[in-house]
Amino acid sequence: MVPHVPTVVIIGRPNVGKSTLFNRLVGKRLALVDDTPGVTRDRREGDATLFDLKFRIVDTAGLEEEAPDSLSGRMRQQTEAALIDADVALMVIDARAGLTPQDRHFARWLRAQDMEVVLLANKAEGKAGDSGLFESFELGLGDPVPISAEHGEGLADLYDALRPLLDPLMPPEEEIGDETEEERDARLAAEPLKLAIVGRPNAGKSTLINTLLNEDRLVTGPEAGITRDSIAIDWEWQGRRVRLIDTAGLRRRAKVVEKLEKLSAADTKHAVDFAEVVVLLLDAKLGLEAQDLRIADMVLQEGRALIVALNKWDAAEDQSRLFQGVRKALDEGLAQIKGVPLLAVSGLTGKGLDLMIKAAFEAREGWSRRVGTSALNRWFEGAIERNPPPAPGGKRIKLRYITQANTRPPAFVIFGNRVDELPESYRRYLVNSLREEVGFDGVMIRLNLRARK
Ligand code: GDP
Ligand code: GDP
């Protein structure tokens, strides 16, 4: 018997990122990626690998240019031809651009086909994709899976969506039982914690990393930016794997001193992109400054879990006042999130570093956490009962239910009526209550409101 390799076809209007996704899954730079919509490309097929899933992938990019506004003619024929042999369709939308009539067209047409569909909201990295992601629930193709084909984000969620569809089609020897949520959590928790330590020059990053690693891999000194090249370092902390990125080396290449600041910002961005959890190191002698807040804000906007560590604690004076002052400045400066974990550490003596790594693992747990819909709605009903939404013009805004749309970071969507009129203060109440009562301490929560159809 010839083992059947499942076939997955990528569908969507031009420029949503089909080719980029194809490349990502095939792992080679096979396809031409272009910013111009409808650049002619042949239908391409390749062997895709997604963790332990192997399947045939077909990209329909290039089939659209004949009839960009409708699904007629050659495009329909070609797309249909691609679909005939396929087991699953990946319907891709551009989360940044939001839904277009053409997306709705594709969705309507796909719903009429007898086939499994996974809806992918691409370009969902950062915050700009949130509204398109939530909008795409409307397509009636199930919960969208947010991904970033370009940055390789969301692939674990794509895996989770594809696996139950492909598993029954896999040859028996490759069959693996359905992964429960606990197993998935265990698998993710076993992956190395991707940690970045950022901060202004001289905050003590290199010294702290040296102490953590307990070896002289990095060169430190009183001068800013003399560490070696940017490297990812794998090590273990109490039997758990940690992957640390150090990009300070990039700064060293800067010959011109004036460029230091700029390069350092780019380094920070690079490290943040890589990380799940970011430790922002402050120099206790300087406290929290505007530049630190900007970095913290960027980390949160990029959807990473944040920890703030007050470094050089060994040299700090009036410790209790200092700590309280920074705590207050943090809560005021980062209005979108209350209670970012704050720790006192010394990279020089090693004080507090164990607690810091422990906090980093905990932050990742909250950041990755998925709460079941029924537990979530139990909290939701209570929160609304204790403090009902306002009634502008005498008509109460009705909030009906909530669901978790994403993890890493957690994102939620609330469906209701007249949600446009909900004041920002009420939304903040919900987010804070969710954080405190459901337990997302120090984690940035994204919340979207959608009018129920
Ligand atoms: P296709 O026409 O659907 O095959 O789209 P392409 O793969 O050619 O991508 C169209 C454009 O979107 C290109 O400029 C890509 O670089 C960009 N793109 C693709 N994936 C992503 C993503 O995940 N995030 C962002 N921001 N851009 C992306
Ligand atoms: P980086 O630029 O952030 O990598 O900072 P470095 O690790 O090179 O440290 C800058 C300066 O701060 C050096 O003179 C270090 O000796 C000093 N330093 C770093 N960590 C500590 C600490 O925990 N306590 C004290 N007292 N000094 C520190």
More confident residue, 137 or 244: 137
Which pLDDT band holds residue 282 (cuts at 50, 70, 90)?
very high
Q: Which residue has the tokens 């990742």?
A: 364
User: What's the CA gap between 380 and 392, in Å, rounded?
Assistant: 21
Tokens of 170: 């896999």
The reported pLDDT for the residue numbered 174 is 34
Pocket flag, ligand 1, residue 102 (CB < 6 Å)? no
Residues paired with 194 in a beta bridge: 243
Of 269, 293, 284, the residue nearest 202 (C-alpha): 284
Residue 379: pLDDT band with limits 50, 70, 90: very high
Instruction: Give the tokens for residue 332.
Output: 């005021």
- The radius of gyration of the chain from alpha carbons, rounded to an integer in Å, stands at 24
Distance CA 399, CA 379 (A): 13
Cα 343 to ligand 2 centre (Å):
17
Average pLDDT of the residues in 282-295: 93
* Per-residue tokens: 89: 């369709």
What is the crossing angle of helices 353-368 and 181-190, to 10°? 140
Among the atoms of ligand 2, which is closest to the Cα of residue 346? 23
Between the ranges 38-42, 74-78, 93-97, 449-453, where is the mean pLDDT highest?
93-97
Is the Cβ–Cβ distance between 227 and 220 less than 8 Å? yes
The number of the ligand 2 atom at minimal distance from the alpha carbon of 220 is 8
| 181 pLDDT more than 50 | yes
pLDDT for position 63: 55
Please state which of the ranges 49-58, 244-253, 297-306 shows the lowest mean pLDDT: 244-253
Tell me the mean pLDDT in the region 396-425: 87
Q: Count Cβ atoms within 10 A of the Cβ of residue 217 and give its class: 0-12 exposed, 13-18 middle, 19 or more buried.
A: middle
Mean pLDDT taken over the chain: 80
- ipTM value for the complex: 0.55
Closest atom of ligand 2 to 227 CA is 4
Amino acid at 16: V
Distances 272 to 58, 125, 126, 198, 203 between C-alpha atoms, Å: 33, 13, 12, 8, 17
| DSSP annotation of 241 | E
Q: Which of 149, 130, 152 is nearest to 16 (CA)?
A: 149
Lowest mean pLDDT among 36-45, 107-116, 164-173, 432-441: 36-45
- Concatenate the DSSP letters of all residues of 289-351 into one string: -HHHHHHHHHHHHTT-EEEEEEE-GGG-SSHHHHHHHHHHHHHHH-TT-S---EEE--TTT-T
- pLDDT-derived band at 179, boundaries 50, 70, 90: low
Contacts of 256-264 with CB under 8 Å at 24 or more apart are 260/201, 260/224, 260/225, 264/200, 264/201, 264/225
Judge whether residue 180 has pLDDT over 70: no
* Distance (Å) from CA 19 to ligand 1 centroid: 7
Q: Read off the DSSP letter of residue 368.
A: H
Out of 20, 23, 133, mutate this one to test ligand 1's pocket (max ligand atoms within 8 Å of CB): namely 20
For residue 293, what pLDDT band results from cuts at 50, 70 and 90? very high
pLDDT of 385 strictly over 60: yes
pLDDT at 245 over 90: no
> Which residues are CB-contacts of 356 (< 8 A; sequence separation ≥ 6)?
279, 307, 309, 343, 345
Query: Residue 342: is its pLDDT beyond 80?
Result: yes
Point out the ligand nearest to the CA of residue 149: 1
Of all atoms in ligand 2, which is nearest to the CA of residue 349?
A: 23
User: What's residue 258's pLDDT?
Assistant: 39
DSSP character for 140? Answer: S
The Cα 185–Cα 191 span in angstroms is 10
Q: Which of 30-44, 100-114, 408-422 has the lowest mean pLDDT?
A: 30-44
Confidence grade of residue 247 (pLDDT, cut at 50, 70, 90): low
Q: What is the pLDDT of residue 47?
A: 84
User: What is the whole-number distance in angstroms between the Cα of residue 223 and the centre of ligand 2?
Assistant: 9
Average pLDDT value for residue range 349-360 = 94
Q: Indicate whether 28 pLDDT > 90.
A: no
What is the predicted pLDDT for the residue at 393? 86
pLDDT at 381: 94
pLDDT at 250 over 70: no
Residue 325 has pLDDT above 90, yes or no: yes
Ligand 1 atom at minimal distance to the Cα of residue 16: 3
The three-state secondary structure class of 268 is: helix
Mean pLDDT of 63-82: 56
Q: Which of 26, 33, 100, 153 to mutate to test the pocket of ligand 1 (most atoms within 8 A of CB)?
A: 33
* Confidence band of 252 (pLDDT split at 50, 70, 90): very low
- pLDDT at position 260 is 42
Mean pLDDT value across residues 153-159: 87
Query: What value does the mean pLDDT take over residues 186-202?
Result: 84
**How many other CB atoms sit within 10 Å of the CB of residue 238?**
9
Q: Given pLDDT bands bounded at 50, 70 and 90, which one contains residue 406?
A: confident
Question: Which pLDDT does position 231 carry in this prediction?
Answer: 56
Q: Which residue has better confidence, 32 or 129?
A: 129
Least confident of 184-198, 250-264, 352-366: 250-264
- Sign, CA dihedral 144-127-341-230, equals positive
- According to the model, what pLDDT value does residue 172 have? 47
Selected residue with higher pLDDT from 59 and 93: 93
Rounded to an integer, what distance in angstroms lies between the CA atom of residue 278 and that of residue 268?
10
Res. 315: pLDDT tops 50: yes
Q: Is 132 in the pocket of ligand 1 (CB under 6 A)?
A: no
Whether 229 shows a pLDDT value over 80: the answer reads no
| Ligand 2 pocket test target in 198, 200, 202, 314 with most atoms within 8 Å of CB | 202
Q: How far apart are CA 6 and CA 90, in angstroms?
A: 13
Q: Hey, whose CA ends up nearest to atom 20 of ligand 2? A: 204
Q: Which residues line ligand 2 (CB under 6 A)?
A: 199, 201-207, 220-222, 224, 248, 311-312, 314-315, 346-348
Q: pLDDT band for 444, please (50, 70, 90 cuts).
A: confident
Rounded Cα gap, residues 124 and 93, in angstroms: 10
Query: Ligand 1 centre and the CA of 257: distance in Å?
Result: 36
Per-residue confidence (pLDDT) for residue 380, from 0 to 100: 95
pLDDT at 51 over 50: yes
In percent, the amount of the chain with pLDDT more than 70 equals 78
Report the distance separating Cα 83 and Cα 103, nearest Å.
Answer: 17
